């Protein structure tokens, strides 16, 4: 069991008895609060563990402090970048003010070839010094040169409310890091160019990129340190705060955000699939089987020490996924298809359909073993999803789906519709969704727009929500994960429809119209 906060406080005080532990505890408390604000799930027990961990290290050792706090507070590799950002802000090394009569730190001087001793560096000379430090992997010198680069090139303006990205870009652009990377790579390759094969070339290319990345990190750390000195921890932490990957808005994600989301989709689905499979195994234990229990008790003199339970066989859902892939919905549809396809092992059958103003089945494009990116390319070029003008028409798509595939829906089927319900002021034809709802086991709607935007403009969400068991606001991967888990774990009893319920993100429903 972890220690209570008072005991950990006493241990911290005894470990560092030469100084008052209160500022350390206060700083750690603020640090934990900022991690929680940034989205990291840090519990009270983990905070107590972190307080205990730092009693066993030297607080002056910044790398050991970061390792101790990370080991006790970070539970997911996706959160390491956010943790590092908050750590750099809260535990940056602040320069000690120069007292009267003392001399401040002397500015670095260039003493290389072609310069006079004591002469201040120019930009070209600074780049040359960085190249030499990177080539020799002299990271202490690199750290000193990074400070000089920030001092000369960043143009930091005291009091300006920016998070430092602008200053980092300004510095790196003037250092011409692409040319620096090319020079490093050329230096690595010319050492024994004749003996270098393709694999070795790739390894040395990655090494050159890693060294330049180390330079970027040193410059970024120095910029953050100066911003903290100027404006304080809380103000800088607020400007640097970014949503976690799983909380990024799919509808407004940048290219960098989309690449980061791509990286987490596959491991996230593997983890979720394993958790669902375990729950299904545990769910096989049903009600107490009295007859078998009493029969087994005869071996123990009539004492029922080994209760027997009826084995249940929970059904896996049969999924029909219907995605709007019009221009405004393309990104959301991509990740909905990818996430649900990756979870296909948890469903007895998964059929995928896409539409704009016409609907087409794309199940064969997403067969197991197929490359997902290639499948998306084929869907965009081969799927017959345009009927009239290529603008969303949910009414016509539902009518066509009912006519072509409606008979294939069964009381074991779960229909999932992904779209913003913006019908371009056309007839909603909600009665066709009603026909599907009367046959299917359940109907769920995933809407990537904020709930406040529903039924505004050309949105007809309320008309369709009447026929849905639940309508969810699904704007990010975290909400999509929660929804897939809910569907994969729903109890299925063929031929018996569940009474519609209102989830915490569901639209109000008029069950009398079902």
Most confident among 6-10, 166-170, 338-342, 481-485 (mean pLDDT): 166-170
Q: How far, in Å, CA of 280 to CA of 170, rounded?
A: 54
CA distances from 276 to 208, 285, 343, 351, 506 (A): 43, 15, 10, 20, 23
Percent of the chain scored above 70 by pLDDT? Answer: 80
Pick from 401, 365, 394: which is nearest to 380 by CA? 365
Residue 111: pLDDT above 50?
Answer: no
Q: What is the pLDDT of residue 499?
A: 39
Q: What is the mean pLDDT of residues 334-349?
A: 77
The pLDDT mean for the chain works out to 80
Residue 313: band (very low, low, confident or very high) from pLDDT cuts 50, 70, 90: low
* Lowest pLDDT segment from 70-74, 343-347, 406-410: 343-347
* Lowest pLDDT segment from 9-13, 18-22, 380-384: 9-13
Residue 280: band (very low, low, confident or very high) from pLDDT cuts 50, 70, 90: low
| 26 token code pair | 């206060």
Q: What residues contact 78, with CB distance under 8 A and at least 6 apart? A: 244, 245, 246, 264
Percentages of the chain per state (helix, strand, coil), in multiples of 5: 55, 10, 35
Query: Phi-psi category of 369—alpha, beta or left, where left has phi over 0 and alpha has psi -120 to 50?
Result: left
Q: What is the mean pLDDT of residues 364-377?
A: 80
Q: Which domains does the chain have, with CATH numbers?
A: 5-90 (no CATH), 111-241 (no CATH), 283-314 (no CATH), 318-513 (3.40.50.410)
């Amino acid at each position: 069991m972890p220690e209570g906060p008072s005991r950990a406080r006493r241990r911290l005080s005894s470990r560092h008895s030469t100084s008052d532990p209160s500022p350390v505890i206060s700083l750690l408390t603020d640090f934990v609060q900022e991690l929680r604000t940034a989205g990291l799930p840090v519990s009270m027990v983990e905070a107590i563990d972190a307080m205990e961990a730092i009693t066993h290290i030297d607080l002056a050792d910044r790398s050991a402090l970061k390792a101790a706090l990370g080991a006790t507070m970070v539970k997911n590799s996706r959160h390491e970048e956010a943790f590092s950002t908050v750590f750099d802000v809260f535990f940056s090394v602040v320069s000690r003010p120069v007292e009267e009569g003392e001399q401040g730190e002397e500015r670095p001087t260039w003493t290389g070839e072609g310069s006079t001793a004591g002469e201040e560096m120019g930009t070209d000379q600074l780049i040359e010094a960085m190249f030499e430090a990177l080539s020799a992997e002299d990271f202490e010198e690199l750290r000193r040169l990074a400070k000089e680069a920030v001092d000369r090139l960043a143009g930091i303006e005291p009091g300006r409310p920016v998070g430092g990205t602008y200053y980092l870009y300004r510095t790196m652009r003037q250092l011409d890091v692409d040319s620096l990377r090319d020079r490093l790579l050329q230096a690595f390759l010319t050492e024994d160019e004749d003996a270098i094969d393709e694999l070795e070339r790739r390894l040395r290319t990655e090494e050159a990129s890693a060294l330049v990345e180390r330079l970027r990190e040193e410059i970024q750390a120095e910029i953050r340190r100066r911003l903290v000195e100027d404006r304080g921890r809380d103000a800088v932490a607020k400007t640097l705060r970014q949503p976690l990957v799983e909380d990024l808005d799919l509808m407004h994600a940048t290219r960098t955000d989309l690449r980061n989301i791509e990286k987490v989709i596959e491991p996230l689905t593997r983890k979720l699939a394993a958790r669902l499979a375990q729950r299904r195994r545990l769910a096989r234990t049903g009600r107490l089987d009295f007859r078998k229990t009493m029969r087994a008790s005869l071996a123990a003199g009539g004492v029922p020490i080994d209760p027997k339970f009826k084995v249940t066989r929970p059904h896996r859902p049969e999924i029909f996924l219907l995605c709007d892939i019009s221009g405004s919905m393309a990104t959301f549809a991509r990740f909905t298809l990818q996430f649900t396809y990756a979870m296909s092992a948890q469903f007895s059958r998964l059929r995928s359909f896409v539409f704009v103003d016409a609907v087409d089945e794309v199940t064969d494009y997403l067969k197991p073993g197929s490359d997902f990116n290639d499948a998306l390319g084929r869907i965009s070029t081969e799927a017959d999803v345009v009927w009239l003008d290529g603008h969303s028409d949910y009414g016509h798509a539902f009518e066509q789906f009912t006519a072509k595939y409606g008979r294939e829906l069964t009381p074991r089927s779960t229909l999932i519709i992904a779209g913003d319900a913006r019908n371009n002021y056309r007839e909603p034809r909600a009665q066709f969704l009603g026909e599907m709802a009367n046959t299917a086991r359940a109907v769920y709607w995933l809407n990537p727009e904020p709930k406040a935007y529903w039924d505004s403009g050309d949105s007809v969400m309320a008309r369709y929500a009447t026929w849905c068991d639940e309508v969810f606001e699904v704007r990010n991967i975290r909400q999509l994960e929660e929804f897939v888990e809910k569907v994969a774990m729903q109890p299925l009893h063929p031929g018996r429809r569940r009474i519609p319920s209102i989830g915490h993100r569901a639209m109000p429903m008029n069950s009398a119209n079902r």
